[in-house]
């Protein structure tokens, strides 16, 4: 896992830590990479290669729990009026690191909605079957 930047930060204990828990950790991005003051990354300690797609369910639950607690602190302590939770998983998602990570981005009055993780284009991919049939449980 040495090639994974997040695994490297965790093993070297060299991040700007917000929280270090048994299963998940949270840290600030590199200086100058923040989307907003307080922007935090939350990752599981256990490595994943496809993010959300191959994360252990227990790890995913702990990461989301930690992200929620950090989001609440952003509102309570930083004066944020909302948060954006951003994730890209899988090779064609635009992800930058092959390790599950959630960006918890505080939003402040006047920030607008430009933080929303909504693709700007539409996929040209076509399915041969109705997605409702394929996705329904």
Catalytic residues: 101
What are the residue ranges of helices labelled H in 84-136? Answer: 131-135
Residues 57 and 44: beta-carbon distance below 8 Å: no
| Sign of the CA dihedral running 39, 45, 47, 53 | negative
Residues 57 and 78: beta-carbon distance below 8 Å: no
The Cβ of residue 55 has, within 10 Å, a number of other Cβ atoms equal to 22
Residues 41 and 102: beta-carbon distance below 8 Å: yes
**Cα separation of 38 and 80, whole Å?**
9
């Amino acid at each position: 896992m040495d090639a994974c930047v997040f695994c490297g930060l965790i093993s070297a204990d060299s991040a700007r830590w917000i929280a270090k828990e048994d299963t998940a950790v949270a840290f600030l991005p590199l200086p100058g990479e923040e989307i907003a003051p307080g922007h935090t990354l939350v990752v599981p300690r256990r490595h994943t290669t496809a993010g959300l797609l191959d994360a252990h369910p227990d790890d995913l639950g702990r990461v989301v729990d930690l992200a929620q607690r950090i989001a609440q602190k952003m509102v309570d302590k930083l004066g944020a009026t909302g948060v954006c939770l951003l994730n890209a998983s899988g090779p064609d998602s635009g992800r930058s690191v092959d390790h599950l990570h959630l960006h918890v981005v505080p939003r402040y009055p006047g920030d607008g909605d430009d933080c929303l993780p909504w693709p700007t284009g539409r996929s040209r991919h076509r399915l041969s079957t109705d997605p409702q049939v394929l996705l329904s449980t």
